[in-house]
Amino acid sequence: MKYTYIRVIGAILMVFLLSGCLYPNSELSKNQVPNELQLEMVQSAVDTYREETQGLVPIKTKDQDTPIFRKYLLDFSALQEKGVLTEIPGTAYENGGLYQYALLTPEKNPRVKLIDLRIADVIREVGVKLNIYRNENMYPPFGRPITNNLYKIDYEKLGYEHEPYVTSPYSQKKLPIIMDTEGQLYVDYRADLYEALNKYEHSYKFGDDIRYLLAENTPFLPAYSYPSTVKSGEVVYK
């Protein structure tokens, strides 16, 4: 009888384990980390969609002036309606995930890439504080100049005790947020770009937009980046 009781308790525990009831939400989450299989699945669906539509790509309509790395968001509904994708990845924003799926160079060679929405969250938070400040002050809270058009931000004027940052999807480094003369916010990817210049083969020269080094060689798009180039082996803003 005692043995039977232990077996029953063991079976109940197993049911809870398999259903995830005993795991913390952070371990259960299927939407935290993108994986290669999901990207390949969506890439295959996009390729099939193009074949069946004479070269069209399944993207959402965005304004023409939308920054290039946030412009071509994938339209999962179009893929599902065409029957080339049965399930939206758990990592996708549309399924409660942390990433937007987008296309790189959709006209020539469409490749499925990711936008980390945690970056957008930080940009949005700083932007709200910036708008409040600008409603009460004549000029944005300019800090140290980086170029004639770009500045560090005086975060103390926005009420921060410490400088806010975004976590790089490439290196996991803490990347600062910078601002142009119009008060637009950007992520300072120079540290990641410098590593990319030395890590990946390329033929970029002064004047070329080297942000594509990150976009081409990794799963992630450099969202909220400012056009950058290379000069004497260093990363500079265009």
| pLDDT score recorded for residue 221 | 98
**Residues counted in the chain:** 238
What token pair was written down for 27? 């371990």
Stated pTM of the model: 0.84
Q: What is the tens place of the pLDDT at every residue in 28-82?
A: 445 556 788 999 999 999 999 999 999 999 999 999 999 999 999 999 999 999 9
End-to-end CA distance of the chain: 78
Which residues, other chains included, contact 202 with Cβ-Cβ below 8 Å and sequence gap of 6+?
210, 213
| pLDDT score recorded for residue 33 | 67
- Domain edges within the chain: 31-115, 118-237
Q: Are 140 and 132 in contact (CB under 8 A)?
A: no
